[in-house]
Structure 1
Amino acid sequence: MLNSALINSEIQKKWLQKLEGVKDEFQSHADENDRRSRFPYENVEWLINEGYTLLTLPKAYGGEGATVEDMVVLQTYLGSIDGATALSIGWHLSVVGQLFEQEMWEQDMLNRFAQAVREGALINRAVSEAETGSPTRGGRPATHVTETDDGYIINGVKTFTSMSKGLTHFVVSAYVESLEQVGFFLVKHDMPGVEIADNWNMIGMRATESHDLVLNDVHIPKENFVEIRGAKGKKPNGWILHIPSVYLGIAQAARDYAVDFAKTYSPNSIQGTIGEISTVQQNIGKMESLLLSARHFLWSTARMYHDSGEQIQVWNETSASKVLVLNQGLEVVDLAMRIVGAKSLEMERPLQRYYRDMRAGLHNPPMEDMAYTNIAKSVLGLL
């Protein structure tokens, strides 16, 4: 459980207690799901049934109305339990939070989708493509739509569609030929022509089942054309902090494992445990300092986001959070593995999974070079 002094809302207290109650059960699935590249269906089903997917839906729409800070705290703890579960459900929480906070869709569509979320819907954006790389770089998607009398026909392939087999809704980016603009379309999983390619075979975050989403002549009703890229201007999106939250949690789990190991491992070449060796103590001190730094930076950024009226000052903090947490988190995992030694490479131990999952985080948005460039442009007055 997290330090109680850091918990400052009833939502956090309630959900931390509930997650603590299923910690052992969630972790019992993690190794097998990773080996088989299998989505954590049982974990996500529990989260839906308990109402966790309503966390970032505003109270006015029947949700819990959690803040970005609430989400960050809870996702950090869930990430320490099982990274793949946390990252998967985090995409849903993030999309829902941003959609309703920024009122990105027409009111009628927001109302309809809120009802779907209350009934157990899961959503993620499907924007990455093999041809364009990261969507944050602004490439024009090869996925395209053509207009018909009663809607649109969409064709294309989207990569890195996390939670693909568990999703009920996708927000798909596509080039709208008639407008010569990039639009976003709400696609339901059971529409004819929607397929999951079943081709996710990565070394990290294997259980997210981030397969390709294949769209073959999918008919989209007119009202499901929900966004035009850039139409409402660019705003800070604190909900994207769900990403570093998960990886902070994974780093915390690596630290916890290494500390427990140091307390109990006692080879016959020494008196006592390895926790009494100065080198091990130095590495534990480094791990703790890195985690303290990352945690306070990330959580303070989340608090600033909803405490500030226009949220102008959090552009740089939001970008830097992911870069700082990932890089320091990777160092924490490396130190944990040094403490445990060669045993950290054993497949039966979770440290090797933590390492692989942390590496995957480098390729979640924002990319490091883009984050640094945008921060620099802000400092130089070039944005």
Structure 2
Amino acid sequence: MGLNDDVFLKNERQVELYKRASKISEQVSENAKVADHEARFLDQTLKVLKRYNYLSIVLPEAYGGEDLNLYEWLLMQEKVAEGDGATALSVGWHLGLLMEIKAEGIWTNAVYEFIATEAAKQKLFNRASTERNTGSPTRGGRPETIAVLEQDQYVINGRKTFTTMAEKLDFALVSAYMPDEEKVSWFLIDMLKEGVSIDRTWDTLGMRGTGSDDLVLKDVSIDLEFHLEQNNKQSLPKAWLLHIPACYLGIAQAAFKEAIVFAKSFQPNSLDHPIAKTHQVRQKLGEMSLLLMRSRHLLFDLARRWDEEEQRDLLANEIAMVKVNVTNDAQRVVDLAMRIAGGRGLSKFFNFERYYRDVRAGLHNPPLDDVVYEQLAALALDE
């Protein structure tokens, strides 16, 4: 992890998991520039994840997984992000889905059995819920994707945006409005189904390597069993969303490490020593170190408590708070790295500019800052 590894790696299992994540991180980093340039989630990257059985690692042992708890998973996610943030964020959505259905039991046993069995074969899943006219699903917009019951099948039509790893998915969990029942529901769609296509629309500033293209559904027929009925169980706070700040923390850590290497090696002819010896650069590195340490303690202390405490429903505000704190700290760390690198940080020769673009995406991942501030304000005023 860089700073104080021994503080966060509590036992031999975590040490071994972290070593594996380090190998994944190193290998996916080799593809990061190409993925960023092409705005695709690459086959090479997916092969690395499958080689280490990473697509099933959080599943119970009964399904061939290693039954990672939240703390262990975030340790690995942060390290993967250090190699490539886009890879970590992408696979985080897949593994987060598995973490949610494992922890909450909100889906029926048959749904869980199907998803877990397929994921154990290293099949790739992701939700597809965002749409062009509804914005973020967290804002509450009703999907314009429509599911209509025709005899013994549902027929689905619509378009989903921000479908991460769209070209590589085996299954998409799609939200759709059912006009006959006047409700929103979920459908599990095999990406090989007739009528399913990908529109390569992904051309963004940052996180280009996620390949988050549009998913287009035209008269896609779905058997009744793939209409995902939920249990009536109360949903827990979505702690698995902490993979988001873990990702941006990993990007910030990568920027910090490269800033150190740059500062030690760069010596303009106006100085008789590398810039690492200048007061201004040392101040920036010190601030970066403090921010990383603060964010890491916030994130992993909350993950530990989630794993240990029974009253998880009380942690919702803290989960949101940690996301906002860590992603904003990561912004500052990468900004400071760019300031140390100066104009050279803008060059494609270095990774700084990719870190700078990728870390910005954290501001647009849920929960958004303004929503969290409003929630905390309401809590304070109510008290």
- TM-score band by shorter chain is over 0.9
RMSD: 1.7
Per-residue deviation at 1:381? 4.4
1:79–1:249 CA contact under 8 A, matched in 2: yes
Correspondence for 1:252: 253
Correspondences of 1:328-343 after superposition (within 5 Å): 328-343=329-344
Q: C-alpha offsets along residues 18-46 of structure 1, whole Å, 9 cap, x if unaligned? A: 23335443222211221121213212212
1:15 aligns with 2:17: yes
* Distance in 2, Cα, partners of 1:232 & 1:176: 22
2: distance between equivalents of 1:9 and 1:378?
A: 37
**How do 1:108-127 residues align onto structure 2 when only pairs under 5 Å count?**
108-127=110-129
Tell me the SS of whatever aligns to 1:165.
Answer: helix
5+ residue gaps in structure 2? none
Aligned to 2:211: 209
| Cα separation, 2, equivalents of 1:61 and 1:31 | 34
| TM-score (norm: length of structure 2) | 0.95
- Which residue type is aligned with residue 245 of structure 2? P
Aligned-residue offset at 1:231: 5.0
Read off the aligned partner of 1:358 and give its amino acid letter: V
Give yes or no for contact 2:148–2:156 (8 Å, CA) kept in 1: yes
Which residue, out of 148, 155, 158, partners 2:157?
155
Structure 1 residues 308 and 146: CA distance shift in structure 2, 3 A: same
Residue 79 of structure 2 is aligned to residue 77 of structure 1: yes
Compare 296-305 and 348-357 and name the one that shifted more. Answer: 296-305
Partner residue in 2 for 1:46: 48
How many pairs align? 381
| 2:308 paired with 1:307 | yes
Query: Structure 1 residue 11: deviation in Å?
Result: 4.3
SS in 1 for 2:219: strand
Change (3 A) 1:154 1:244: same
Q: Is residue 2:70 matched to residue 1:68?
A: yes
Shift of 1:184: 0.8
- How far did residue 104 of structure 1 move? 2.1
Q: Who is 1:322 aligned against?
A: 323
1:184 corresponds, among 159, 183, 186, to: 186
SS in 1 for 2:167: coil
Deviation at 1:312, TM superposition (A): 2.5
The aligned counterpart of 2:28 is 26
The worse-fitting range, judged by mean Cα deviation, of 135-144 and 26-35 is 26-35
TM-score, structure 1 length as denominator?
0.95
| Cα distance, 1:139 vs structure 2 | 1.1
Contact 2:17 2:72 in 1 (8 A): no
SS at 2:163 equivalent: coil
**For 1:186, what is the secondary structure of its paired residue?**
strand
Instruction: Summarize the Cα distance change of 1:184–1:336 in structure 2 as closer, same or farther, 3 Å threshold.
Output: same
Alpha-carbon distance change, 57 to 170 in structure 1, aligned in 2, over 3 angstroms: same
Q: Which amino acid aligns with 1:222?
A: L
Contact 1:244/1:322 (8 A) holds in 2: yes
Cα shift at 1:16:
2.0
After TM superposition, give the deviation of residue 222 of structure 1 in Å: 0.8
Q: Which runs of 5 or more residues in structure 1 are unaligned?
A: none
Identity between Structure 1 and Structure 2 (%): 39
1:375 aligns with 2:376: yes
C-alpha distance in 2 between matches for 1:381 and 1:60: 45
